[in-house]
Chain A
């Protein structure tokens, strides 16, 4: 059998081997890799750094794959020499391996510009999984990180480090970011997006030295200025790794020179990937490298014919919320080149297309890359755009969502990285039972490269899979057009701690009275109260912890757990009502007392005089637990509902919820405290409690659903609190429990709360505990206001003399 040796275990080399395996005849294959990992998706290293993906999630070919295909994998061995006449390669482990055909896929090395001090401790490059792990270990809260290089990789590294808590500055030599992919305007939009994320950007800084005594302490620039740093990442570009090829006497310019068939100057040696130079161009992006692999696979297996014809350069920045796409050539200023442009500074959207002779030659998209596929296609096909001239930047809205898919020919490439066509995907759906995106990735490899075709793949699945179920997506608001579920993922994944941050990156930067309170709640629930509270994003009720009335005065409802009070408390309430001339004192339907018509500036004094905690009657939060007298006095009572209700209220009070939560506890099925029409109810039976949820007696009347029946009061409280936290984490803002349950289904609610695996239950309890630990009685702000004028009426400095 023919012996094939592959130097390099990266994406290009292994993808080529995958293609070779599809051809006959068979080779006896050995792959050398100087890293100690199986082949992984290098493009996604930035996602690992940003904590979006775990290291094992980016593996492309597991060790099983090598074994199954009888490939000998030699990890941790660096090939140091090729001997073309003897047809052997020598490794740094002393091994000598003979080959009949040799494939060089050594990729590239980070380019380290000449400057002093690059060997200091704390200076990194960002190229492989080990670099990423080292950075993850080093990064952390308050660490001052500087990234040298404002290109694709540098920006992704910067964002990753910042997500890890570092204070990050990007230092760039040129006057604009990503200058090879963007024009000045696009670079400007990108810069402000990065700055919104909290990454500082310094342009036109040439680094001359890395300062520090052994360990990095800062950078020195050519203009004489310096910058403090605890960690430096050099991301100034890459250089094809060609040393062994040069030593072996192959023709090498910048990269290893290959022809259209991927043959080098030696008949039995081939090369693929970033180390290659074809027609004067080196490629650093996935799609062309995979294309090269296909051509080479044909050549090397005796099926020579397909040619590599070069490729349209294209790049996509992979930072969530900072959408940047660039393809083709946009520096051409020859006459006859049309520029078509669109800008929306508020939304941070910039689109620019370059057309030559009616055909697309370049595209830049910042802030909205949803059309990148269309443009990539036009660049590839060089289609005459005359029929599309009026819809170049915004496709005409299609009435039929499936039409886009229907209008694609089967040969159209959906996934440009891996080269998967529509036909292949449809075939996989029908013949291999694919009906989810995960299965599609597994089966066809579509969408495993840069991921930009995910939406297209999903559209195809939707159009073709017989029983496709679409997740209904209700967007929060036009200021920030994402579903709340998606936004919760964004907030968690991107570690946003303030409302304004999310609005700046994902929204229009302004927000409104609809989305701001919703995002405020989201921050609170995602971080269990450990977020950056922004009162300007809250309703007035949540700024002053009282309910605004039609005349601008407020109402005050102190907490009276379980509706149980005392003579002393009632006396204090009466005193307050007199002292502050409260116009109306009213017993509420929630077994509490409401003081209506209070001035904002009197609130702190009234709270202090009352000496009772906030009843949260003004907010989306825990209202009360209404109880009956239970076994203490009632001759029908079979459970101590008063005690159970007070305990439930104590466990949940001061917490916030998507919409108000009213609860009830009754000692017998006569239901005197109406627990069966409450958001959460405990219904006492002889020897058991029924825990019921999703009841309503407001605009809508709905009998609560039974969640579970349990024996002890403690079990009932546990079940109620599990549901409570589940509702907090999964409902949309302002969605009451009864709407939530009808949307989700009570079976699912049971499955994911009381019948959930222990670990899931523990997770819910732990997050509730954390929230509870950080929750405090809002009325304590009366003594310690968050802002000096929170409750105070401002007195003008100058009086008007009339």
Chain B
């Protein structure tokens, strides 16, 4: 089945307090969105260790510490910083703010619009570096 990437308007930026995260469900993805003061970042709301809700963690610069066992996740890359033996990452999502509304880009099934089905994008959700650079281009 083909998939495409789409932007979704998530919430007014005021709903995410400075240096805190909030959980939101978009299209089957559990996403944690963070307000870092100068920008907003979004990652999968699930720590690779024991599935802790990253949105509830304490933010330090551009990392968040999972509230369960303090695994540290880089919000830019999705990498785990304090467990170098653990190569797992969390998925990151490009973000975008316009008119005070935060949007995130997620991958959805392309059922209605076959010509837009870009197969090559199906694997992009795994490629964190690319998804981040996408956020900068926007």
Give chain A's interface residues, CB within 8 Å of chain B: 479, 509-513, 516-517, 535-540, 543, 548, 550-552, 787-789, 793-798, 800, 802
Contact = CB atoms under 8 A, between A and B. Distances in A.
23 contacts: A479-B60, A509-B61, A510-B60, A513-B57, A513-B65, A513-B70, A517-B58, A536-B17, A536-B18, A536-B59, A540-B57, A548-B53, A550-B50, A551-B51, A552-B56, A795-B11, A795-B24, A796-B10, A796-B24, A798-B9, A800-B6, A800-B27, A800-B106
Secondary structure at the A interface, as helix, strand, loop or mixed, is: loop
Contacts of A537: 19, 58
Interface string B5-49: 010111100111111101111111000010000000000000000
Given A513-B70, A540-B67, A800-B8, A794 B24 contact: yes
A794 B109 contact: no
Given A536-B20, A548-B67, A788-B15, A796 B58 contact: no
Contact of A510 (B23, B51, B61, B101): B61
Contacts of A796: 8-11, 24-26
B56 A802 contact: no
A596 to B, nearest CB: 15
Contacts of B108: 800, 802
Contacts of B56: 540, 543, 548, 552
A512 B59 CA distance: 7
Contacts of B57: 513, 540
Nearest to B46: A552
Nearest to B25: A796
A517 to B, nearest CB: 8
A209 to B, nearest CB: 38
A787 B22 CA distance: 12
A597 to B, nearest CB: 14
A516 B56 CA distance: 14
Contacts of A509: 61
A796 B6 CA distance: 14
A787 B17 contact: yes
A797 B9 contact: yes
A543 B20 CA distance: 10
B68 interface: yes
A787 B25 CA distance: 20
Nearest to A517: B58
Interface of B: 6, 8-11, 14-20, 22-28, 33, 50-53, 56-61, 65, 67-68, 70, 101, 106, 108-109, 111
Contacts of A793: 23-24
Given A511-B60, A536-B18, A548-B68, A797 B27 contact: no
Contacts of B28: 800, 802
A543 B19 CA distance: 13
- Shortest beta-carbon contacts, A-B, top 9: A800-B27, A536-B19, A540-B56, A513-B65, A510-B61, A513-B58, A552-B53, A512-B60, A797-B9
A512 B27 contact: no
Contacts of B8: 796, 798, 800
Given A538-B58, A789-B15, 11 more contacts: A510-B60, A512-B65, A513-B65, A536-B20, A540-B67, A550-B68, A551-B51, A794-B33, A797-B101, A800-B108, A802-B111
Contacts of B50: 550
A512 B53 CA distance: 17
A798 B8 CA distance: 6
Nearest to A479: B60
A552 B52 CA distance: 6
A802 B10 CA distance: 17
Most chain B beta-carbon neighbours within 10 Å: one of A512, A513, A794: A794
A517 B28 CA distance: 33
Contacts of B106: 800
Given A796-B10, A797-B101, A536 B24 contact: no
B71 to A, nearest CB: 10
Given A539-B67, A794-B10, A802 B26 contact: no
Contacts of B20: 535-536, 543
A551 B56 CA distance: 12
Given A510-B61, A802-B27, A535 B9 contact: no
A789 B16 CA distance: 7
A552 B68 CA distance: 8
A762 B14 CA distance: 45
B9 A512 contact: no
Contacts of B60: 479, 510-513, 516
Contacts of A536: 17-20, 58-59
A510 B64 CA distance: 11
Contacts of A787: 17
A320 B84 CA distance: 38
A796 B19 CA distance: 20
A788 B17 CA distance: 9
Contacts of B53: 548, 552
Nearest to B60: A512
B45 to A, nearest CB: 9
A575 B10 CA distance: 36
Given A513-B58, A552-B53, A789 B9 contact: no
A313 B11 CA distance: 58
Most buried by B among A479, A512, A551, A802: A512
Contacts of A511: 60
A507 to B, nearest CB: 11
Contacts of A543: 20, 56
A479 B61 CA distance: 11
Contact of B109 (A538, A788, A802): A802
Contacts of B19: 536-537
Contacts of B24: 793-796
Nearest to B16: A789
A788 B12 CA distance: 12
B15 A794 contact: yes
A295 to B, nearest CB: 54
A795 B17 CA distance: 16
Nearest to B29: A800
Contacts of A798: 8-10
B54 to A, nearest CB: 10
Nearest to A802: B109
A750 B131 CA distance: 61
